A and B are shown apart, each in its own frame.
Chain A
Amino acid sequence: MRSGLPVLSVLAVIVGVWYLAVAPMNVRVALDQAERADAVIVPEGSVPRRDVSVWRLMLDNSDYVALGYALERPRLPTPGQVGAELWKTTGEMIAKGRPFSKRGLIYHGWITLQSTLWGFLLGTTLGIVGAVAIVYSRTAQLSLMPWAIISQTIPIVALAPMIIVLSSQVGVEGRGLPKAIISAYLCFFPVLVGMVKGLRAPLPAQLDLLRTYNASGLQSFLRLRLPASLPYLFTSLKIGIAAALVGTIVGELPTGAISGLGARILIGDQFGTPLAIWSALFAAAILAGALVTLLDLVQRLTLKRMGLA
């Protein structure tokens, strides 16, 4: 693949910077740990050390800097540690024959994925229906569009708990549906905007042509506007699914959820296990990457069949 080398170069730079950053980030924790193991640290005691810069500490105690790369509860874990934790909570679980154990990320990823897909389905449907209404009705354009824009200015973190509380008030059991609603809330907007642009893509002459055939509104929609909008739709869908995943994770954060990647991030924070946070974070990133790649593949195949790519 042509794009392989640039991507790998950037990845190498990121991993390199990350490894370098681990030493200053973890030096205080590493020195505290070494001091407890009777090593001589300059200056003595963790309280006086707070007034000394990490660079000074690293210079004066260079023998112990390496400890920062193997801490159990590091401030910043190394890429290797995160990778190992990811493996422990996924691949190793499969090897042990318990892939869906609640201690593993496969289970939590699956919970998040389910809500994401429901939210994506709901948001995409809303976005497409809204776009059709906006393109075909001036009233809808004047009334819907401003609200669609305003809706995206409300911080989703503030809205998420309200949606959970309100949906439990109307008797909705569990967190699946409210999470899907939160995720749809983020996902519908890019789909709506892209689809409005796409449905308006046909040129006036193309619409005139259909008029000379005396084509019905439905015929013009199915034969012209819809196919013309597909390239726009796919671009929006890729943004939309990433937004849906973010929505789901945000929906899992402030709501006391105990399963899902968002819950893992929050629990990891409360229990001071940074490795759990980082591995959940990477699991979410990998999941988003996989979903976007999948849609990209569908886009390529569809547009190729349509003769557009």
Chain B
Amino acid sequence: MTVISAQNLDLTFQTNDGPVHALKGVSLDIEKGDFVSFIGPSGCGKTTFLRCMADLEQPTGGAISVNGTTPEAARKARAYGYVFQAAGLYPWRTIGRNISLPLEIMGYSRGDIAERVARTLDLVELAGFEKKFPWQLSGGMQQRASIARALAFDADLLLMDEPFGALDEIVRDHLNEQLLQLWARTEKTIAFVTHSIPEAVYLSTRIVVMSPRPGRITDVIESTLPKERPLDIRESSEFLEIAHRVRDGLRAGHAYD
């Protein structure tokens, strides 16, 4: 089943310096259960593409559907969870109450909320931190809490915009491993924006390489790695080969500027 389908998508921002082509002729299908990473230099439109899926930006041309409907209808049906680059937890809410925020807005019952908060905290290994305020947690833990917040209402689609971009390498490795386990357990479809090649290769079933001015897709790489991926798979020749293809794709995108 196709979860996201984009055909010939264009998005042009009108700025004072003239039009900026954030997306130009972008076509891509994401199947259910896929883990798709978008990689490319800044300005290549990867975040813009993700925001189009979330109905946070309106494309100026082409067509995009989410779950077979428009992004707007999907957003209104709360079809996806979105994780931003900054955890963006509300400082005046405890971790538990941050995770219950979408549930309160969506009108879940009190008992249901308590049960879901406990379950998702468990899922991101933050059980016991429910009563803590965000500033009492490390950056990595805050980002895990923000993932729990996106998972709390059981959307089948997870849109993640460089969620680990601001974290150090060690924490990032750990969270990558956890995210893979979570993806295997929940069988969600994940669209994941990153600018780290190892991260993209380690996590994805498919890697979409993009390039800037205008933002477009230059290569789509199917991963041949098994679904079970210990961290040391990153030293295997298969992994390095895929990483090499990604790097080649990125370089090709830069060739004419």
Contacts and interface: CB of A to CB of B under 8 A. Distances in A.
A208 B56 contact: yes
A205 B101 contact: no
Contact of B105 (A206, A213, A230): A213
A210 B106 CA distance: 11
Interface in B88-106: 88, 90-94, 101-102, 104-106
A211 B105 contact: no
Contact of A219 (B81, B86, B105): B105
Interface string A115-133: 0000000000000000000
B185 interface: no
Contacts of A210: 105
A203 B92 contact: no
Contact of A214 (B75, B84, B90, B104): B75
B69 to A, nearest CB: 14
Interface residues of A, number: 20
A227 B54 contact: no
A223 B101 contact: yes
B213 interface: no
A307 B88 contact: no
Nearest to A215: B105
B76 interface: yes
Interface in B47-76: 54-56, 75-76
Contacts of B54: 212
B129 interface: no
B159 to A, nearest CB: 8
Interface in A190-205: 203, 205
Given A223-B101, A223-B105, A308-B92, A209 B84 contact: yes
Contacts of A306: 92
Nearest to B80: A212
Question: What is the size category of the interface that chain B forms with chain A?
Answer: 20 to 34
A281 interface: no
Contacts, number: 53
A209 B75 contact: no
B106 A206 contact: no
A224 B56 contact: no
A215 B104 CA distance: 10
B133 interface: yes
B105 A209 contact: no
A21 B85 CA distance: 63
A213 B102 contact: yes
Interface string A152-180: 00000000000000000000000000000
A205 B75 contact: no
Contacts of B86: 203, 205
B56 A211 contact: yes
B92 A214 contact: no
Contacts of A228: 92
A307 B84 contact: no
A97 B100 CA distance: 57
A205 B51 CA distance: 11
B188 interface: no
B75 A212 contact: yes
A209 B82 contact: yes
B194 to A, nearest CB: 17
Contacts of B105: 210, 213-215, 219, 223
Contacts of B106: 213
B172 to A, nearest CB: 20
B76 A308 contact: no
Contacts of A227: 90, 92
Most chain B CB within a 10 A radius of its CB, from A209, A211, A223, A306: A209
Contacts of A223: 90, 101, 104-105
Interface string B13-37: 0000000000000000000000000
B91 A308 contact: yes
B230 to A, nearest CB: 33
A251 to B, nearest CB: 38
Nearest to B101: A223
B234 interface: no
Interface in A215-231: 215, 219, 223-224, 227-228, 230
Nearest to A214: B76
A208 B78 contact: no
A309 B90 CA distance: 14
Contact of A213 (B78, B84, B91, B94): B78
Given A212-B81, A308-B91, 16 more contacts: A203-B86, A205-B84, A205-B86, A209-B82, A209-B88, A210-B105, A211-B55, A212-B54, A212-B82, A214-B75, A214-B76, A219-B105, A223-B101, A227-B90, A230-B92, A307-B92
Nearest 6 pairs of A and B residues by beta carbon: A307-B133, A306-B92, A212-B82, A215-B105, A213-B105, A213-B102
17 contacts: A203-B86, A205-B84, A205-B88, A206-B88, A209-B84, A210-B105, A211-B56, A213-B106, A219-B105, A223-B90, A223-B104, A227-B92, A230-B92, A306-B92, A307-B92, A307-B135, A308-B91
Interface of B: 54-56, 75-76, 78, 80-82, 84-86, 88, 90-94, 101-102, 104-106, 133, 135
